[in-house]
Amino acid sequence: MSGWLDLHRQLYNAALEERIDAWRKHHKNISYNEQQNVLPALKKDLPELTPLGSQALQETLRRLDRAFSAFYRRCAAGQTPGFPRFKGKKSFNSFCFPSPAGWCFLPFDKPPLDNSTGDMAKAACRASALKVGSLLIRARGKSRFDSYAPNDLTIKRVAPKIWEASITLRVSDSDCARDRIGNEIRGFDLGVTDKVVFDNGETVENTRFLRNKLDELAKLQRARARCSKKGSRNYKALNQRIARLHRRIAHQRKDELHKLTTNLVKTCSILGSEELNVSGMVRVPKPKPEVGVDGAPTGNFLPNGAAAKAGLNREISSVSMSALLGMLAYKAIEADTRLHLSNTRKVKPTQRCACCGTLVKKHLDERTHLCTHCGFVATRDRNAALVCLIDALWPEYFDAITSKISKDGQRKNLFFPDGFENLIANRLFYAAQDISNIPQVSNISNPSPKGAAHGTGVVIGTDIVELVSQETPPRSALAV
């Protein structure tokens, strides 16, 4: 595999060099078709390219063509992209078969091919097998689909002497559908202390796979740093152990996310959360240059909290919020579950009160939501989950309650969807009851007479005020 990967890398670099020389000497652009037409003659001059397969070689040239297309597109958009680069052994780590030609996948219920003759063996195959050219590779895992057709194969080197094969399957919509066994309606908020916090107070603990292995990682990295020679045998062995440990952590995290997202789409008909800009959340703080008495920079820098932010960035990345939402997106389509992601900049679930819709600004270390407008008290993450749930059920809700007061100060009537009032009042009721030993807010502006007594007053409409301020929880026609 290493030899094949290196041949693909050499082909990529040679094609890139040809394009650069053609433009430098003759101001001519070479297209993909022109380069792929040279492949038959190239395989005659270099017989070692023949076992790689024509389509795999063509896909390597398409990979270069896509890099140039992206470069030209970004230049036309006024951006400053980087020019396609020559690939070294560490940066070129995969090659692809774009069609089933040149390889075949043998599920474990079929007999394997004999590696030397290519004939079917008599014994049943005890594991799935992947035949690429003249190589027969044992494959782990099993597809969850009964009927499928292999589409393409990507072989990737994830670490020294560690390879992975990814097979894309063509599956019909009926076979791809997931069975849903429940019709729950849930909102949730993602975090670091708890991976997921639902609107009903349930939480999913953050397992912290990376933090639990930090000591072991540090021990291996210190041993690698003590190696006298960078390319020694011991140095390479420690590199492999570190790579295997990172791979194990990634697999544990991915397995947990798959189980969590599959369970959610199986039991829920509506899921509400918020859009997250994770790349912005883990951004490194800007440096703070020190300024002298005369106003000129001294060349030194003031503390900017980068050390503390580095630990938070590591924990945010370890939660894999983008991966969780991405898995939910495609699984929700397969299970016919509606996934609603609120616009964070518009709705602001973390800062908005789920009861009255007022924006209550909070610092990151404030973990309790205390609304000074209506008196509603809940945990910060649960309040955000409630806001996401409300926005999922009625996306125009917060726009309506902020524009319902007319110029003369009179409150306009709001007409909610069927079951909406009881459902939201029920969730708000239990959220307020779960808060204990938290002092109520005294400076409440324009509170509801009944709601303020329990700290759960709502100023969005008299009907919901009555429901939330009851001594017993309201019931809903919707799933609760």
Residues 234-282 pLDDT 10s = 998 998 899 899 999 999 999 999 999 999 999 999 999 999 988 888 8
How far, in Å, CA of 367 to CA of 365, rounded?
6
Predicted local confidence at residue 122, as pLDDT: 41
Q: What is the mean pLDDT of residues 432-460?
A: 37
Q: Is the pLDDT of residue 441 over 60?
A: no
Q: What angle do CA 32, 39, 10 make, to 5 degrees?
A: 85
More confident residue, 157 or 134: 157
Non-local CB neighbours of 224 within 8 Å, separated by 6+ positions? 235, 238, 239, 242
> What 3-state DSSP class applies to 248?
helix
Percent residues over pLDDT 70 in the chain:
80
Q: Is the pLDDT of residue 440 over 50?
A: no
Q: What is the mean pLDDT of residues 174-202?
A: 89
Instruction: Judge whether 432 and 203 are in contact, CB under 8 Å.
Output: no
End-to-end CA distance of the chain: 54
Residue at token pair 């996948």: 105
93-121 pLDDT per residue, tens:
999 998 888 888 777 655 445 555 544 44
Q: Is the pLDDT of residue 427 over 80?
A: no
Predicted local confidence at residue 275, as pLDDT: 92
Comparing C-alpha atoms, which of 274, 391, 258 is closest to residue 324? 258
Predicted local confidence at residue 419, as pLDDT: 64
Q: What is the mean pLDDT of residues 337-341?
A: 92
Predicted local confidence at residue 328, as pLDDT: 94
* pLDDT grade for 61, boundaries at 50, 70 and 90: very high
Q: Which long-range contacts (CB under 8 A, 24 or more apart) does 11-20 make?
A: 11/49, 11/57, 11/60, 11/61, 12/60, 12/61, 12/63, 12/64, 12/87, 12/92, 13/86, 13/87, 15/60, 15/61, 15/64, 16/64, 16/84, 16/86, 17/86, 19/64, 19/68
- Strand-pairing partners, residue 205, are 194
Specify the DSSP element, H or E, that contains 20.
Answer: helix 2-26
Q: What does each C-alpha distance from 276 to 239, 280, 343, 351 come to in angstroms?
A: 34, 9, 9, 15
Query: How many contiguous H segments (helices) and E segments (strands) does the chain have?
Result: 17, 15
Comparing C-alpha atoms, which of 431, 417, 427 is closest to residue 475? 427
Non-local CB neighbours of 367 within 8 Å, separated by 6+ positions? 379, 380, 381
Q: What does each C-alpha distance from 381 to 177, 206, 352, 362, 363 come to in angstroms?
A: 32, 14, 11, 12, 13
For the record, the structure tokens of 28 come out as 């001519």
Backbone angles phi, psi at 178, to 5 degrees: -105, 145
* pLDDT grade for 478, boundaries at 50, 70 and 90: very low
Q: Which long-range contacts (CB under 8 A, 24 or more apart) does 376-379 make?
A: 376/428, 376/432, 376/455, 376/456, 376/457, 376/458, 377/432, 377/435, 377/438, 377/440, 377/441, 377/455, 377/456, 378/354, 378/431, 378/432, 378/434, 378/435, 379/197, 379/431, 379/434, 379/435
How far, in Å, CA of 217 to CA of 210, rounded?
9
Predicted local confidence at residue 446, as pLDDT: 34
Q: Which of 171-185, 243-257, 426-440 has the highest mean pLDDT?
A: 243-257
* pLDDT grade for 411, boundaries at 50, 70 and 90: very low
Predicted local confidence at residue 457, as pLDDT: 31
Instruction: Judge whether 389 and 272 are in contact, CB under 8 Å.
Output: yes
More confident residue, 114 or 424: 424
Percent residues over pLDDT 90 in the chain:
33
How far, in Å, CA of 323 to CA of 251, rounded?
13
- Strand-pairing partners, residue 472, are none
Predicted local confidence at residue 17, as pLDDT: 95
Q: What does each C-alpha distance from 336 to 84, 173, 264 come to in angstroms?
A: 41, 12, 12
Comparing C-alpha atoms, which of 97, 95, 94, 112 is closest to residue 151? 97
Q: What does each C-alpha distance from 301 to 184, 284, 309, 310 come to in angstroms?
A: 53, 15, 17, 18
Q: What is the mean pLDDT of residues 281-294?
A: 85
| All structural domains of the chain with their residue ranges | 2-174, 184-336, 343-468
How far, in Å, CA of 180 to CA of 335, rounded?
6
Q: Which of 2-6, 256-260, 419-423 has the highest mean pLDDT?
A: 256-260
Residue at token pair 């930090």: 214
Predicted local confidence at residue 476, as pLDDT: 38
* pLDDT grade for 458, boundaries at 50, 70 and 90: very low
How far, in Å, CA of 320 to CA of 251, rounded?
12
More confident residue, 267 or 397: 267
- Strand-pairing partners, residue 272, are 187, 340
Q: Is the pLDDT of residue 409 over 50?
A: no
* pLDDT grade for 338, boundaries at 50, 70 and 90: very high
* pLDDT grade for 432, boundaries at 50, 70 and 90: low
Q: Is the pLDDT of residue 88 over 80?
A: yes
Q: What is the mean pLDDT of residues 391-409?
A: 68
- DSSP-derived secondary structure for 74-137: HHHTT--PPPP----TTT--EEEESSSTTEEEE-TTSPPBPTTT-PBPSSPPSS-EEEETTEEE
* pLDDT grade for 437, boundaries at 50, 70 and 90: very low
- Strand-pairing partners, residue 291, are 297
Average pLDDT, the chain: 80
Predicted local confidence at residue 461, as pLDDT: 36
More confident residue, 480 or 222: 222
